[in-house]
Amino acid sequence: MSRLVTMNKKRFNYKTDEWITPQKFFDKLNGEFHFTLDVAATSTNNKCERYFTKEEDGLKQDWSNETVWCNPPYGGRGTIEAWVKKAYNESKKGVTSVLLLPVRTDVSYWHDYCMKGEIRFIRGRLKFENSYTNNSAPFASAIVIFKGGVKNV
């Protein structure tokens, strides 16, 4: 096995798919958007007073009349795509959603949905507030915004 493959396996081998949003990073966005709902949270990492946990499954909940923050779980095939698709569809109903995502311009959901919203690339690598690593994320990140009431082409 090549050294690069070995390094990448170690780099992406985490015990969780939860990447906790840095508070200062969230606070800056919250100052702009005034979030009312965190749709992908736990009772210990929620960023809004109102939030959905994994058990409540934010993908199955109604997001109406909310301004949504979403830092979805990054694991499993199709996981991120489901959250992006839900946020995009909710924007057609007037909901504004802001998602923190790994930049993956090579996947179909990025082109099918993310490109229809506003994309803000984050300079450098975010340092998530995870207790299992002291390193910055092994991937680039972006904020994707679907504004309710605006035609996301």
pLDDT of 13 > 60? The answer is no
Under 8 Å between Cβ of 88 and 146: yes
pLDDT of residue 152: 60
**85 domain-assigned:** yes
> How large is the average pLDDT for residues 109-127?
92
Whole-structure pTM value: 0.83
pLDDT of 10 > 70? The answer is no
Structure token digits, residue 132: 């299992």
Structure confidence by residue, pLDDT tens digits, 17-65: 566 888 999 999 999 999 999 999 999 899 999 999 999 999 999 999 9
Average pLDDT, whole number, for the chain?
84
> How large is the average pLDDT for residues 84-106?
96
Listed residue (47, 54, 32) closest to 129, CA to CA: 47
Range of the domain at 123: 18-146
**55 domain-assigned:** yes
**13 domain-assigned:** no
Question: Any idea which of 5-14, 52-61, 125-134 has the lowest mean pLDDT?
Answer: 5-14
Count of structural domains, the chain = 1
**36 domain-assigned:** yes
Domain of residue 37, CATH code: 3.40.50.150
**3 domain-assigned:** no
**70 domain-assigned:** yes
Residues paired with residue 152 on neighbouring β-strands, in sequence order: none
What 3-state class would DSSP assign to 91? helix
**4 domain-assigned:** no
pLDDT of 151 > 80? The answer is no
pLDDT of 150 > 80? The answer is no
**12 domain-assigned:** no
Structure token digits, residue 115: 């490109």
> How large is the average pLDDT for residues 78-100?
95
Q: How far apart are CA 62 and CA 39, in angstroms?
A: 10
